[in-house]
Amino acid sequence: MKNVLFAAGEKRWALYFDPLTKALESEGVAAHLSQDIPPQSVDYIVYAPDSSLQDFRPYTRAKAVLNLWAGVEKIVGNETLSIPLARMVDPGLSKGMTEWVVGHVLRHHLGMDRHIVNPDNEWRPAVPPLAFERTVVIFGLGALGTACAMALVALGFNVVGWSRSPKSVEGVTCLHGEAGLSAALAQADIAVMLLPDTPATTNLMNAETLGQMPQGAYLINPGRGPLIDDDALLGALETGQIAHATLDVFRTEPLPRVHPFWDHPNVTVTPHIAADTRPATAAQMVARNIARSEAGLPLLNLVDRSLGY
């Protein structure tokens, strides 16, 4: 019997208990799943970064931490954690992110605001370009960036992806590393940020890089707040270098009520809802990883602590 500690909060416990119990059963793992297990008896920890568990040292027998979030920036630097950490890759999360990104890309591509907000009853015909005439650059070609890129390719957009290491995604022009960054920025009529928050990605969008994007570009950030230098973005919005920013994530969440993004006419704020893990599918991913670990196989979606994601 494996003791699986659920350290992810009361609200999630209610959502995850049934799906996780079923998923563990169907993976053939005999498990005792609970929110309350003596630390020295715990075999696996299902985790959310807002959990009260922050000191992993007493969990001497634990074999892995299975994060329910895709982003691991709140746990990856925890020095008390010395066992493997897996991040969440969940088909439900990927679908949610794809729908959110496609929706916001289409909003800007089609210029929907012009017709939705038209207080003067002005007849203003403006025909948008076709998708193949618009380049969308996805910064981050991981589980989520790739799913979004493929959906945008299917709609006919010219899609460019940028990652740390070389990638190959059908229909997508793949660029990588420092050498590929300027070319990616220069083409980004619409930029979608799906990078993790690491020391290497902090302020990737700053005055200089925003200035390398086409005049009047759109910026969509469902990745993490620190990817963007807020002041530089406000400056770029002021000059029209960036026409509009749609932001789901922020350095401080909830976004403080006094933050200038709230009232800016060319900023859309959404409250970190771009995508969420879906218990039915996320539970299967967690159970599969526990089963793999028990079978002596490497964990899927293992975090590289030295890279921070």
Site residues for ligand NDP per CB under 6 A = 70-71, 89, 93, 140-145, 163-165, 167, 194-198, 200-201, 222-224, 248-249, 272, 274-275, 309
CB of 53 to ligand OXD, least distance (A): 18
Judged by CB, which is closer to ligand NDP: 37, or 249?
Answer: 249
Which residue minimizes CB distance to ligand NDP? 142
210 binds, among ligand OXD, ligand NDP, none (CB under 5 to 8 A by kind): none
| Binding segment toward ligand OXD, per CB under 6 A, in 29-37, 63-71, 142-150, 235-243 | 63-71
Note if 87 is an active site residue.
Answer: no
CB of 88 to ligand OXD, least distance (A): 6
Regarding 71 and contact with ligand OXD (CB under 6 A), the answer is yes
- Active-site residue (options: 87, 104, 224, 244): 224
The CB density around residue 229, as the number of other CB atoms within 10 Å, is 20
Among 6, 16, 47, 69, contact with ligand OXD (rule: CB under 6 A): 69
Secondary structure of the chain in HEC code, one letter for each residue: CEEEEEECCHHHHHHHHHHHHHHHHHCCCCEEEECCCCHHHCCEEEECCCCCCCCCCCCCCCCEEEECCCCCCCCCCCCCCCCCEECCCCHHHHHHHHHHHHHHHHHHHHCHHHHHCCCCCCCCCCCCCCHHHCEEEEECCCHHHHHHHHHHHHCCCEEEEEECCCCCCCCEEEEEHHHHHHHHHHHCCEEEECCCCCCCCCCCECHHHHHCCCCCEEEEECCCHHHECHHHHHHHHHHCCEEEEEECCCCCCCCCCCCHHHHCCCEEECCCCCCCCCHHHHHHHHHHHHHHHHCCCCCCCECCCCCCC
CB of 94 to ligand NDP, least distance (A): 8
Q: Strands 2-7, 44-47: parallel, antiparallel or unpaired by DSSP?
A: parallel
CB of 111 to ligand OXD, least distance (A): 29
C-alpha to C-alpha distances, 254 to 48, 166, 179, 226, nearest whole angstrom: 17, 35, 35, 14
Judged by CB, which is closer to ligand OXD: 70, or 147?
Answer: 70
Interacting residues with ligand OXD between 83 and 112 (CB under 6 A): 88
299 binds, among ligand NDP, ligand OXD, none (CB under 5 to 8 A by kind): none
| Binding segment toward ligand OXD, per CB under 6 A, in 67-75, 100-108, 199-207, 209-217 | 67-75
CB of 93 to ligand OXD, least distance (A): 6
Judged by CB, which is closer to ligand OXD: 69, or 157?
Answer: 69
Among 24, 70, 85, 245, contact with ligand OXD (rule: CB under 6 A): 70
Residues 137, 173: Cα–Cα separation, whole Å: 9
CB of 276 to ligand OXD, least distance (A): 6
- Active-site residue (options: 272, 278, 292, 305): 272
Note if 264 is an active site residue.
Answer: no
Judged by CB, which is closer to ligand NDP: 224, or 244?
Answer: 224
Residues 85, 203: Cα–Cα separation, whole Å: 26
Q: Looking at the annotation, which residues are catalytic?
A: 224, 272
Binding residues for ligand OXD, per CB under 6 A? 69-71, 88, 276-277
